[in-house]
Structure 1
Amino acid sequence: MINAIVLIDAEAHRIPETAQAVADLAGVDKVYSCAGDVDLVALVRVRDHEQIAEVVTRGINKVEGVTKTVTHIAFQSYSSADVDAGFSIGS
């Protein structure tokens, strides 16, 4: 599974509707509205790189209210549960 984080700038007056429309797209796992440099963050989970291009360029970028996207592809994931499990081996 390939994971990507898509940072989305949206028209301020359309953020809730834009977020829901992005969340409804196939391949989009979650969408967060947030404070800071971007309006929305979408987590995309697909089987291959070509699908990321489809989700972002033919999906997210076409949603009304989206003005800009920046996509980051994740190489590896880490979580506190993974670290805790590693330290509990053999105890």
Structure 2
Amino acid sequence: MITAIVLIHAVAERIPEAAQAIADIDGVSEVYSCAGDVDLIAILRVAAHEDLADVIPGKIGKVPGVLDTDTHIAFRSYRTTDTESAFAIGSPTTD
């Protein structure tokens, strides 16, 4: 599974509609509106790198109101539960 974070610049008046249209695209798991340098952040999860080309420029880039995208591909996920379990190795459990 390939995870990509897509930073999206959008026309201000179209942000809610663009966000919903992006959220409805296959491969997009989450869309956030946010403050800062970008208007929307989309989290994509696809089977292959080739699928990114279909989803990002092929679908997200064509959503009305989307001006520009900047894509970041994730290499590894670090979650709190992963870190806690790594430090718990060899420790006695308490119930």
Instruction: Report the TM range for the smaller structure's normalisation.
Output: over 0.9
Q: CA deviation at 1:79?
A: 1.0
Any idea what the Cα deviations from partners look like across 1:29-62, whole Å, max 9, x if unmatched?
A: 0000000000000000000000011100111000
Aligned ranges for residues 1-91 of structure 1 at < 5 Å?
1-91=1-91
Going by fraction, where is helix more abundant, 1 or 2?
Answer: 1
Q: CA deviation at 1:69?
A: 0.3
Q: CA deviation at 1:4?
A: 0.3
**Larger gyration radius, structure 1 or structure 2:** 2
1 CA distance for matches of 2:89 and 2:59? 43
Name the amino acid aligned to 2:32: Y
Q: How high is the sequence identity, in percent, across the aligned residues?
A: 60
Moved segments of 4+, more than 2 Å = none
Gaps of 5+ in 2: none
Q: TM-score normalised to the size of structure 2?
A: 0.93
2 CA distance for matches of 1:73 and 1:26? 17
Gaps of 5+ in 1: none
Name the amino acid aligned to 1:23: A
Q: CA deviation at 1:73?
A: 0.6
Number of matched pairs: 91
